[in-house]
Amino acid sequence: MAGPVLEMRSIVKTFPGVKALSDVTLTVRQGEVHAICGENGAGKSTLMKVLSGVHPHGTYEGEVLFEEGLCRFKDIRASEQQGIVIIHQELALVPYLSLAENIFLGNEHTRRGFVDWHETLRHATELLRRVGLDDHPETRVADIGVGKQQLVEIAKALSKKVKLLILDEPTSALNDEDSGKLLDLILQLKEQGITSIIISHKLNEIRAVADSVTILRDGRTIETLDVKDPETTEDRIISGMVGRDLEHRFPERTPHHPEEGTAPALEVRNWTVHHPIDQQRKVVDDVSLTVRRGEIVGIAGLMGAGRTELAMSLFGRTYGRHAGGTVLRDGREIRTKTVPEAVRHGIAYVTEDRKHYGLNLIDTINRNISLSALGKVARRGVVDEHEERQVAEGFRKSMNIKAPTVFEPVGKLSGGNQQKVVLSKWIFAGPEVLILDEPTRGIDVGAKYEIYTVIDQLAAEGKAVVFISSELPELLGMCDRIYTMAAGRLTGEFSRAEASQESLMRRMTKDKKDKEVTR
């Protein structure tokens, strides 16, 4: 077997308040396809950013060796000159430029400072052939599908004389057919001597194309396995991904046993949602679920499973195109076509992306908290500022929001405190059903515990809580019942007693193809 082409030794990367990578070692052999897997937040993307120079040399500890030379990349350009090219999950193509222009963007074929169109088109055609595309190089990127765009990204990488190709979740936005083509291409490139690193959640894909797999967990390398080894089963990989012991990180909960017979607080029947642009794609596929009063129901799924899309489409149809299904509150069918309607029916959605969808960062704590229910502190359309301030002060104390006053802009708060503001905002709205989407993402352990306590209290008060998370321990620690989701479908339902990290992960990594077998 060939020697290592890439070695990353004891990489440590800290962000303010969070240690994203605490000790990662990665060795990739010349000419192999190397998979990296791990839960969301395990440090996969951060590691690739270190490798590609997005986090420049000097902002991390440890060393990176490529082709036996020490790398000191100061930006992406520097790593690309060495032949390391990363293709991000979100494609970085300019939609209104042609394929050829995109392929050579920043790297144009020129003659005396002007673009040499003949050479550009000739070379683009050649590169497109290599990735299996026969579209004309003057086609606009906006006019081809996502699957082809992914291939154009690879053609662009080839134009840079790529030696090490990094693909971050390359198939997460693709349908089965396009995924298959892409994986075939990776194998072809391997034969041409190009080494690939592929980050993926889909274990069947890893088994299909990878030679070895490195598992990350909590910013550490757990192990590197040889995929061809018969001992490397999917279960083996899963146990590596989740193998973490449950400490006392959750408040003691007495699971609720809601009375039988009463209608569930929230019931969703046959909910189907299409992608807003690619309308062939079902992002949420025939989902039915129930949540009772006082119950915390988890939805487990990896990135791209459709959890957020499900939640947002239920909450005022703020995602995608609704293609069928009904929502019932306390047994009665309700309309939730707009956000105000959903709120009026006592539904609240706490977003996973508090900075973009949850908070007005330039405004103060008190105004953020009151926004979704201003009517509660207003008479005849006029806000009573003193009452508003008193409400905010109340939340500041009860939620332990660390800020000198409620007049602090929320943009200045830490992630944990921002999350407490978002939660306060929705608790203030007085909902009966709370959908919490990754409520503890990116916040420290102490703040997590506080948020768990709040969630537990909400359930104890008789609210119905939907808890979306990709961190299995927190679901196991908090939920009465857990649904698993993969590729837009519910793939399992577990009671608190039945659920384990392994059983959940097995259902979360099911792809559409083998679903029929297991069901």
Q: Are 419 and 439 in contact (CB under 8 A)?
A: yes
Applying CB under 8 A, among 149, 195, 232, 351 the residue interacting with another protein is 351
Binding another protein by CB under 8 A: which of 60, 73, 315, 452?
315
Q: Does 358 bind another protein (CB under 8 A)?
A: yes
The number of helices, as runs of H, and strands, as runs of E, in the chain is 17, 25
Contact yes or no for 225/218 (Cβ under 8 A): no
Strand partners of residue 8: 26, 64
97 binds another protein (CB under 8 A): no
381: contact with another protein by CB under 8 A: yes
Torsion of CA 413, 417, 421, 426, to 10 degrees: 150
Binding of another protein by 407 (CB under 8 A)? yes
- 15 versus 407: smaller Cβ distance to another protein: 407
Q: How far apart are CA 421 and CA 413, in angstroms?
A: 10
Residue 462 · residue 294 · CB < 8 Å: yes
Q: For another protein, give the closer residue by CB, 61 or 384.
A: 384
Nearer to another protein, 3 or 411 (CB): 411
If one asks whether residue 382 binds another protein (CB under 8 A), the answer comes out as yes
CB-nearer residue toward another protein: 46 or 370: 370
CA distance linking residue 391 with residue 341, whole number of Å: 24
- Choose one: 52-60, 92-100, 221-229, 340-348; the region binding another protein (CB under 8 A): 340-348
Q: Does 374 bind another protein (CB under 8 A)?
A: yes
Distance in Å, CB of 363 to another protein, minimum: 5
Closer of 356 and 519 to another protein (Cβ): 356
Is 318 a binding residue for another protein by CB under 8 A? The answer is yes
Q: How far is the CB of 41 from another protein (least distance, A)?
A: 23
- Using CB under 8 A, which of 385, 444, 461, 498 touches another protein? 385
Q: Does the footprint of another protein cover residue 345 (CB under 8 A)?
A: no
| Residue with Cβ nearer another protein (238 or 429) | 429
User: Are 489 and 286 a contacting pair, CB within 8 Å?
Assistant: yes
Show the tokens assigned to 182.
Answer: 């892409």
Asked if 96 is part of the footprint of another protein (rule: CB under 8 A), the reply reads no
Q: What is the CA angle 232-234-239, rounded to 5? A: 90
Distance CA 8, CA 288 (A): 45
Check binding of 389 to another protein (CB under 8 A). yes
What DSSP string runs through 26-92?
EEEETT-EEEEE--TTSSHHHHHHHHHTSS-TTSSEEEEEETTEE---SSHHHHHHTTEEEE-SS--
Using the rule CB under 8 A, is 420 a contact of another protein? no
Residue with smaller CB distance to another protein, 203 or 410: 410
Residues 254-273 that bind another protein (CB under 8 A): none
Indicate whether 398 belongs to the interface with another protein (CB under 8 A): no
CB of 297 to another protein, least distance (A): 21
Q: Is 356 in the site for another protein (CB under 8 A)?
A: yes
Structure-token pair, residue 225: 């396995």
Minimum distance of another protein from residue 343's CB (angstroms): 5
* CB neighbour burial string for 390-411, b if at least 16 within 10 angstroms, e if fewer: ebbeebbeebebebeebebbbe
- Answer yes or no whether residue 390 interacts with another protein by CB under 8 A: yes
Among 81, 262, 405, 518, binds another protein (CB under 8 A): 405
Tokens at 384, concatenated: 């009573």
CA-closest candidate to residue 479, choices 493, 315, 488: 493
**Rounded Cα–Cα distance for residues 241 and 10 (Å):** 19
Note whether 386 binds another protein by CB under 8 A: yes
Q: Which is nearer to another protein, 208 or 383 (CB)?
A: 383
Applying CB under 8 A, which of residues 66, 250, 271, 349 lies at the interface with another protein?
Answer: 349
Q: How far apart are CA 13 and CA 47, in angstroms?
A: 9
Query: What are the two backbone dihedrals, phi and then psi, of residue 212, each rounded to the nearest 5 degrees?
Result: -140, 160
Based on the shown chain and the rule CB under 8 A, indicate whether residue 383 belongs to the binding site for another protein.
yes
Options 116, 218, 234, 387; binder of another protein; rule CB under 8 A: 387
Secondary structure of residue 408 in the 3-state scheme: coil
Would you tell me which residues interact with another protein (CB under 8 A)? Answer: 315-316, 318, 339-340, 342-343, 349, 351, 356-363, 367, 370-372, 374-375, 378, 381-383, 385-387, 389-390, 393, 404-405, 407, 425
